[in-house]
Amino acid sequence: MDLLQIEGGHKLSGSVQISGAKNAALPLLALSILSSLPIKISNVPNVADIRTFATLLSNLGATTKFENKTMYLDSTKINSTCANYDIVRKMRASILVLGPLLARFGQCEVSLPGGCAIGQRPIDLHLKALEQMGATIEIKQGYVVAKAQNGLKGATIVFDKITVTGSENIIMAAALAHGTTTLINVAKEPEVVQLCEVLANSGVHIEGIGGDELIIKGSSMKLLPIENIEVIPDRIEAGTYLCAGAITNSQITLTSIIPEHLTAITRKLVKMGFEIEEKKREITLKPAKQIQPFDVETTEYPGFPTDMQAQFMALATQANGTSVIDERLFENRFMHVSELVRMGAKIKLKGHSATVFGRSKLTAAEVMATDLRASSALVLAALVAKGKSRIHRIYHLDRGYEDLEGKLAKLGAKIERLRSES
């Protein structure tokens, strides 16, 4: 198993190009199921989750080719409607095939994803919405068995909670349904907006893109002529590199980004004393005279993202004072705390709140990655810890960060990928 070795204490400098967003690319890959034509998706990050999703589609009968960050998909050939446990257990986002498969074929079986490191993560809202659209749903031997023989029907659906993949699943289902679907309290994340824009460009009538309420006119099961797509930049990868610049108090520039998608993150950094310079597709972070502590609460977009909580916790260890971080979306997303403490961080956990007492002199340690974003927090801490840290189980990082060590090394970090003996 690979591990990362990082020697801390080096400033960063220069620029880094941000990849396409994993969480935007995944629903777009699922969307191919609704396409009447082979499709080409560019700016797809070469990360494990994308490769896993492509395998899922090819297990269903699609043909896939991934080269030079471009995914070529022909899902017109799909001849199976079963997403099996072996693949769904590897990646929860596999649930994104549920809405499209059911809408196109009138039936499907998708393994239930189960819990994961960051919390229980139910899919009840996905299922309830599909039932409201006329599907019958049963759970059999760990599978969601969904049927809507004559197709899904438009409905008015109020999401009790904002759910990103839940919204995406139902948006795709509604695009092929009979009649009009109204979605209330829908997610507004840029990744959801891109999915809606692609559908709109393919002739689907959608009102309210980017807002809390969407009205979608379905095609009555007619497949859609989906246009070529370019995936939006990854705002969480970008936020993680901003934190790398911030924790080492360096000047770095990010290119190929959309600054407006990063507002909640850059505002926080400015409050902490960093200077942010924005251009059309670029951001430069400049060092702070003194890093100030902060309070933050994770919430849905356009609020502060839960996917940046762990990275900001690493950053809080270097602030001059006490920061409070409230995690509101996932009940168990503090797995990085005990590993940060092993590196010398002073963090007190109470319920969904973490109090971080800065500034701590971090020291290198052997640490264990537990989920994707928790792992990136350990990388950030290692950049300032005295000595050589080793981060194990980095397959978590490989799920969502493209060439992390290459990009950090280009910025001047002393980072190496090693093979562990065990």
- Interacting residue ranges for ligand EPZ, rule: CB under 6 A: 23, 26, 93, 119, 121-126, 161, 163-166, 306-307, 329-330, 372-373, 400
| Residue with smaller CB distance to ligand EPZ, 98 or 383 | 98
CB of 150 to ligand EPZ, least distance (A): 25
| Residue with smaller CB distance to ligand EPZ, 119 or 203 | 119
CB atoms within 10 A of CB 212: 13
CB of 27 to ligand EPZ, least distance (A): 7
CB of 10 to ligand EPZ, least distance (A): 27
Can 116 be counted among the known catalytic residues?
Answer: yes
Cβ contacts of residue 345 below 8 Å, gap of 6+? 314, 317, 337, 356, 360, 362, 381
Tokens 């023989």: give the residue: 149
Cβ contacts of residue 337 below 8 Å, gap of 6+? 313, 345, 347, 349, 354
| Residue with smaller CB distance to ligand EPZ, 294 or 330 | 330
Q: What SS3 state is found at 330?
A: coil
CB of 319 to ligand EPZ, least distance (A): 23
CB of 125 to ligand EPZ, least distance (A): 3
CB of 119 to ligand EPZ, least distance (A): 6
| Residue with smaller CB distance to ligand EPZ, 75 or 306 | 306
With CA atoms as reference, report the closest residue to 50 among 70, 78, 36, 33: 70
| Residue with smaller CB distance to ligand EPZ, 164 or 364 | 164
| Residue with smaller CB distance to ligand EPZ, 367 or 372 | 372
d(CA 75, CA 135): 23
| Residue with smaller CB distance to ligand EPZ, 186 or 291 | 186
With CA atoms as reference, report the closest residue to 316 among 340, 283, 282, 300: 340
Distances (CA, A) of 326 to 287, 298, 309, 422: 26, 6, 9, 36
With CA atoms as reference, report the closest residue to 397 among 27, 6, 4: 4
d(CA 180, CA 155): 7
Q: What SS3 state is found at 414?
A: strand
| Residue with smaller CB distance to ligand EPZ, 123 or 206 | 123
CB of 116 to ligand EPZ, least distance (A): 8
One of 108, 116, 196, 243 is an active-site residue; which one?
A: 116
d(CA 126, CA 109): 14
Element of type H or E holding 109: strand 107-111
Cβ contacts of residue 27 below 8 Å, gap of 6+? 96, 165, 168, 172, 191, 192, 195
d(CA 341, CA 305): 23
| Number of helices (H), then strands (E), in the chain | 14, 24
Cis ω for the linkage preceding 104 (within 30 of 0) = no
Tabulate helix, strand, coil % of the chain (nearest 5).
35, 30, 35
- Angle (deg, nearest 10), helices 309-316 and 235-247: 10
CB of 162 to ligand EPZ, least distance (A): 6
Active-site amino acid positions? 116
